[in-house]
Amino acid sequence: MSARTLTEVPPRPGPYVRLLRAVHGRAYPRVIGVGRDKTWTFYEILLPLLGTFAFVYVYRALHAPERFVGYVIMGGATTAVWLNVMFMMASQLWWEKKDGNLELHMMAPCGLLPILLGMSAGGIFMATVRATSVVVLGSLVFHVSFAPTQIPAFILVFVVALVGLYALGVALSSLFLVWGREAWHTTQIFMEPVYLVSGFYFPVRVLGLATSAVASLIPLTLSLDAIRQLLYPHEHPKLLGVWTEIGILAVLAVVLVWAARTLLMRMERRARADGTLAQGY
């Protein structure tokens, strides 16, 4: 190695390049991990899918119309996304803290936000693979076919909902950053109660307008209702029109992205000041 090389300062990449590199770096293990260790397909797709099937059999026991089976399968697919948001976004910084990796993230010269963006990108990929598997396997087992009526609207709902959900995940992760053991217990409280108010397995309209309106603060509620309207345009008891729901979801996504950024900065400052950054338990 020449003396010139040792003393030469490499050109500093610009902020956007650093951002993209950080996003790529954090998304990489999640994207690659999907294909590398196949055991996750058993624990994260096949076994949870059986739990979803249980709800199909509930409707079978009630002699419900076939579209209810479709509701459950779409609910099962959404569960995959929600679990990813809760366990691999919201509680991820807590896991990192517990395992002693958080200090490494904090010292990286890119800030936490690009790292969380990378996590979101990788998480969206993982969740999409899992959700698609649920839909495909569920359709094959129960002979349900899905034919969305307006493909652009369907894609738009999906995209806007994912942005909102992962922004919510980042916002929650900032709370988890200052929490200790209560973080794990909080993920538990976000399971069945959220499945209930968001209408994972039944039309949310059944809950009544007031409850549905409050539940719409979680992007899952309106996105599921919109998707069901697009799948069963004539039979589904809708909450609002599809385009109204897409509009509300878009506003929610913007608000949640802003909230995520603000909360993350505040909580990071607070965790540094209180000395809880490295406190796993």
Partner 1 sequence: MATDMKVLATGTSVAPRSRLRTFVDTARGGFWLGWKIESNWTDAFRFLTYQIARPVGGALILVFMYYAVARGNRGPVLGFFVVGTAFWPLVLGGVQATVRGVLEDREAFRMIRPIYTSPISYRAYLLGRSLAGQAAWGSAAVFVTLAVGVIFLHIHLTITAASVALVLAATVFGVAGILAIGLLCVGAAFSTTHDAWQMPEAIGAALFLICGAIFPLTVLPAALRGFGAAFPLTWWLEAVRRVLLPSNAPRSFPSFGMPAVFGMLVLTTIGGAFVCAGLFSLAERRARRLGKLDRETAF
Beta carbon nearer to partner 1, 166 or 200: 200
Q: How far is the CB of 82 from partner 1 (least distance, A)?
A: 13
Under rule CB under 8 A, how many of the chain's residues touch partner 1? 49
Query: Of 125, 154, 158, 195, which one interacts with partner 1 (CB under 8 A)?
Result: 195
- Asked if 29 interacts with partner 1 (CB under 8 A), we say no
- Asked if 60 interacts with partner 1 (CB under 8 A), we say yes
**Buried b or exposed e, range 72-88, using 16+ CB within 10 angstroms:** bbbbbbbbbbbbbbbbb
Site residues (CB under 8 A) for partner 1, limited to 126-185: 180-182, 185
Contacting residues for 126 by C-beta, under 8 A, at least 6 apart: 30, 31, 33, 34, 84, 88
CA-derived radius of gyration, the chain: 21
Site residues (CB under 8 A) for partner 1, limited to 89-108: 95, 98-99
Position 175, amino acid? L
Query: Of 27, 59, 105, 120, which one interacts with partner 1 (CB under 8 A)?
Result: 59
Cβ 224 vs Cβ 75: under 8 Å: yes
Measure the CA–CA gap between 165 and 171, rounded to whole angstroms.
10
Q: How far is the CB of 260 from partner 1 (least distance, A)?
A: 24
DSSP 13: P
Beta carbon nearer to partner 1, 203 or 253: 203
Q: Is 150 exposed, middle or buried (0-12, 13-18, 19+ CB in 10 A)?
A: middle
Locate 145 and state its tokens: 């076919």
Measure the CA–CA gap between 106 and 277, rounded to whole angstroms.
9
Q: How far is the CB of 228 from partner 1 (least distance, A)?
A: 12
Q: How far is the CB of 167 from partner 1 (least distance, A)?
A: 24
Beta carbon nearer to partner 1, 8 or 37: 37
Beta carbon nearer to partner 1, 49 or 116: 49
Measure the CA–CA gap between 144 and 20, rounded to whole angstroms.
40
Residues that bind partner 1 (CB under 8 A): 37, 39-40, 42-44, 47-55, 57-64, 68, 87, 95, 98-99, 180-182, 185, 188-189, 191-196, 199-203, 206-207, 280-281
